[in-house]
Amino acid sequence: MEKPVIFLGPSLSHEKARKVFAEADYRPPAKKGDFLRLAADPDVKMVGFVDGVFLQDYPPTPIEVYQLARKEGMLLAGAASLGALRAVELEKFGMVGIGKIFQLYKSGKIDADDEVAVTFDPEGDYRLQSEAMIDIRYNLFLAHKKGVMSRQAKRALARVAKATYFPHRNYSNIIEETKSKHPELAGDIDSFQSYIASSRKSLKEIDAIKLVKYLKERSQSRV
């Protein structure tokens, strides 16, 4: 069985990923140079790209990822975060895109990098310090679908979140500012605050798990 290299950080913890696929080589969020080193390593034939750095360092450029995607015998898959963005850019060169976020970028329903950008603790298991806009949208969608709040409140919260610089996006700030701007929606916003405290989901995590499962299946099939 081949052992894939998977760049993973805040979207899905290494601990959770190992429960899905223990044998993979989990690396920190990718930065500039990481893909060039893998392209030069003859033993690496399977790579998963989920997370990359944003503010902490320079992220891998499309050209770097392209160099790896074009390596003979390479299976390169991307999902959930920066990996989804690069997969859209490089799908025609053989990179495999996985998950809903990849599809949203590919279809043009979302197009901004800040939809997946977050800040995170660079030590340990990369604990989130801000929320991804795409995950905020996902939780607003679920809350509205479940009748937690009105469409008007959903839209107001989304507008405030989108207008917030991504390192400062967190639910407490977004909820407080939206209530200040729309006091008439306070009841709905309080309901959403209660909902998010107990029922928060992450579309990025869901897609990252799909990538890990995909590489597990492919690595086992190459035995």
Q: In terms of domains, do 20 and 64 share one?
A: yes
- Residue the block writes with tokens 């977050």: 118
Q: In terms of domains, do 110 and 159 share one?
A: no
123 contact partners, CB below 8 Å, separation of at least 6: none
Q: What is the pLDDT of residue 2?
A: 73
Q: Which domain holds residue 11?
A: 5-126+203-221
Q: What is the pLDDT along the chain (223 residues), one digit of tens a residue?
A: 678 999 999 999 999 999 999 999 999 999 999 999 999 999 999 999 999 987 667 889 899 999 999 999 999 999 999 999 999 999 999 999 999 999 999 999 999 999 999 988 877 778 888 999 999 999 999 999 999 999 999 999 999 999 999 999 999 999 999 999 999 999 999 999 999 999 999 999 999 999 999 999 999 886 5
- The rounded distance, in Å, linking the Cα atoms of 47 and 138 is 27
Q: What is the pTM of this model?
A: 0.93
* Residue 39: count of CB within 10 angstroms of its CB: 20
- The rounded distance, in Å, linking the Cα atoms of 112 and 133 is 10
110 contact partners, CB below 8 Å, separation of at least 6: 101, 104, 134
- In the chain, the number of structural domains is 2
Name 97's bridge partners.
78
Q: In terms of domains, do 192 and 212 share one?
A: no
DSSP string, 159-182: HHHHHS-GGG--HHHHHHHHHHH-
Q: In terms of domains, do 142 and 42 share one?
A: no
Q: Residue 82 has which token pair?
A: 């920066």
Q: In terms of domains, do 145 and 111 share one?
A: no
Q: In terms of domains, do 195 and 209 share one?
A: no
Q: Residue 92 has which token pair?
A: 């025609």
Q: In terms of domains, do 163 and 180 share one?
A: yes
Q: In terms of domains, do 38 and 117 share one?
A: yes
Q: What is the pLDDT of residue 53?
A: 85
Q: What is the pLDDT of residue 1?
A: 61
Q: In terms of domains, do 187 and 209 share one?
A: no
Q: In terms of domains, do 68 and 9 share one?
A: yes
Three-class DSSP category at 161: helix
Q: In terms of domains, do 22 and 104 share one?
A: yes
Q: In terms of domains, do 11 and 76 share one?
A: yes
